[in-house]
């Protein structure tokens, strides 16, 4: 029986040929993302803006869909429901109401009247904007610390050029993810921060696989021009990269379309992150090694022309 291969074996695609186009394209996207962030801004969710937190317990397993429908019709703005602990425990988040503490109390009474006496109210809290600011700071710190840890890890495992290339590719993915959330006005909450950290882990894993093949080929083909060697490394891992991305996208698409409103933001961020992460591993992380003059056997290896000249001198 003949096996079906999604990616042909022994491909010889010249990816490095498009490195300048990819660099300009990515730079434009990063600048546009930064401009959107500073002008339009992000649509922060309740986690960051603050709001009302109500914990309830139902007699049996909670019907999240029915509760969400009941509260969404009150005109209180964004309402989030999350099951936690037991199936009968539900955490309700309602966005902060304009008008100070009195407006928050009115909103709580409206919610309690709508839910009635069928639920047991375990706690009611008000989350102020100060707490939201602290969460934003904690989220930014988590992302920066993750990037720094990955830089150190890649640096020690490979060379400093690999570490810098991997972190710049990761930063590229994070900036573009924030940009698309600002452009589309999608809600940015703690689950989105979790998605960004997951994207960083996925992208660095993909990049490390390609980098490991680059290091292997550097030892194997000592006279091969650097750009040819990098193309060979990308083509050698292309099947693994694409198959991993496709299978991950299939799972994430199921979450996005059938996981409900709670998982929609997280799933979208992950889908976008997988697409940009696959692109950056091929067109950003690896080509950066050329510009940083990757070191091979103690010598500085330049671009194709320099390598061909060195190969010609070594083999008259």
Q: Are 48 and 135 within 8 A, CB to CB?
A: yes
Q: What is the model's pLDDT at position 276? A: 93
Query: What distance in Å separates the CA atoms of residue 93 and residue 82, rounded to the nearest whole number?
Result: 8
Q: How far is CA 238 from the centre of its chain?
A: 21
In the DSSP assignment, the letter for residue 60 is: S
How many CA atoms within 13 Å lie on the side-chain side of 315? 8
115: CB partners within 8 A, 6+ apart:
56, 67, 70, 71
Q: Whose CA is closest to 180, among 264, 267, 272?
A: 272
Q: Are 306 and 294 within 8 A, CB to CB?
A: no
Query: What distance in Å separates the CA atoms of residue 289 and residue 283, rounded to the nearest whole number?
Result: 11
Question: Cα torsion at 47, 189, 194, 153 (round to 10°)?
Answer: -100
Q: What is the average pLDDT value for the chain, to the nearest integer?
A: 81
Q: Are 34 and 67 within 8 A, CB to CB?
A: no
Q: Are 99 and 279 within 8 A, CB to CB?
A: no
Angle, CA 260 vertex, CA 259 and CA 261 arms, to 5°: 135
Report the SS3 class of residue 293: coil
Q: State the pairing for strand pair 51-58/79-83.
A: unpaired
Domains and CATH numbers, the chain: 15-41+132-314 (1.20.1640.10), 51-127 (3.30.70.3400)
E strand or H helix that includes residue 53: strand 51-58
Q: What is the model's pLDDT at position 302? A: 45
Please, which pLDDT band fits residue 100 given cuts at 50, 70 and 90? confident
Judge whether residue 300 has pLDDT over 50: no
Mean pLDDT of 21-50: 89
For the chain, the residue count is 316
285: CB partners within 8 A, 6+ apart:
165, 166, 168, 169, 207, 210, 211
Mean pLDDT of 17-46: 91
Mean pLDDT of 272-294: 89
Q: What is the model's pLDDT at position 305? A: 42
Query: What distance in Å separates the CA atoms of residue 221 and residue 45, rounded to the nearest whole number?
Result: 52
């Amino acid at each position: 029986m003949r096996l079906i291969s999604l990616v042909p074996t022994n491909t010889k695609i010249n990816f490095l040929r498009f490195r300048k186009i990819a660099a300009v394209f990515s730079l434009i996207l990063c600048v546009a993302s930064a401009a959107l962030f500073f002008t339009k801004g992000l649509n922060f969710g309740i986690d960051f803006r603050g709001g009302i937190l109500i914990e309830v317990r139902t007699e049996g397993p909670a019907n999240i869909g029915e509760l969400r429908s009941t509260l969404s019709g009150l005109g209180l703005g964004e309402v989030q429901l999350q099951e936690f602990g037991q199936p009968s425990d539900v955490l309700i988040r309602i966005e902060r109401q304009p008008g100070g503490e009195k407006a928050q109390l009115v909103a709580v009474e409206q919610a309690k009247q709508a839910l009635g006496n069928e639920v047991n109210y375990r706690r009611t809290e008000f989350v102020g904007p100060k707490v939201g600011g602290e969460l934003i700071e904690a989220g930014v710190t988590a992302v920066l610390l993750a990037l720094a840890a990955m830089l150190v890890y890649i640096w020690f495992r490979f060379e400093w050029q690999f570490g810098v290339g991997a972190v710049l590719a990761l930063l590229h993915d994070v900036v573009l993810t924030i940009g698309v959330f600002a452009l589309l006005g999608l809600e940015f909450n703690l689950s989105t921060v979790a998605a960004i950290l997951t994207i960083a882990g996925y992208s660095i894993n993909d990049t490390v696989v390609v980098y490991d093949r680059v290091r292997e080929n550097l030892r194997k083909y000592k006279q091969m021009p650097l750009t040819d060697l990098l193309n060979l490394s990308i083509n050698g891992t292309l099947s693994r990269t694409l198959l991993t991305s496709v299978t991950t996208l299939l799972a994430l698409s199921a979450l996005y379309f059938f996981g409900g409103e709670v998982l929609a933001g997280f799933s979208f961020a992950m889908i976008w992150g997988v697409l940009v992460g696959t692109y950056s591993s091929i067109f950003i992380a690896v080509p950066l090694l050329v510009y940083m003059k990757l070191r091979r056997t103690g010598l500085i290896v330049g671009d194709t022309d320099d390598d061909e000249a060195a190969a010609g001198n070594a083999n008259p």
